[in-house]
Structure 1
Amino acid sequence: MTDPESFSGALWAVLLITGIVLAFAVAIPADMALRRREDREQARNRYRNPHRGH
């Protein structure tokens, strides 16, 4: 028979790992979108003033 405490511990571990994976799954696309936005802004500024930043 399975010990209820070990089952509870395993369930908490699975829930914790799932939460961490979901947090990264949300954070990665958000970070990629932010970087893309920053790159677009940088390219726009470079086009407006090509001598700035050298």
Structure 2
Amino acid sequence: MTDPDSFGTALWTLLLITGIALAFGAAALGDMALRRREDREERARREAADRQRSGTAAP
């Protein structure tokens, strides 16, 4: 027969592991979004500098 305490411990362990996995997943998604935004800003900055160097006005 299964000990009720060990069953409860298993459920808590599963809950904690799931929570940790979700937290790491959310952190990874947030990091990817931040990097993407930084890449877009850097590209825009580089294009503006190129336009300024070539003497053409911004569209």
TM range (shorter): 0.7 to 0.9
- 1:33 maps to 33
- 2:57 maps to none
Cα distance in 2 between the residues matched to 1:38 and 1:24: 21
Equivalent residues, number: 50
- Counterpart code for 1:38: E
- Counterpart code for 1:40: R
User: Percent identity among equivalent residues?
Assistant: 62
Runs of 4+ in 1 over 4 A off after TM superposition: none
Cα distance in 2 between the residues matched to 1:29 and 1:12: 26
Cα distance in 2 between the residues matched to 1:16 and 1:25: 14
Displacement of 1:23 after TM fit?
1.1
Question: Which residues of structure 1 form unaligned runs of 5+?
Answer: none
TM-score (normalizing by structure 1):
0.79
SS at match of 1:49: helix
CA RMSD of superposed structures (Å):
1.2
- Counterpart code for 1:23: A
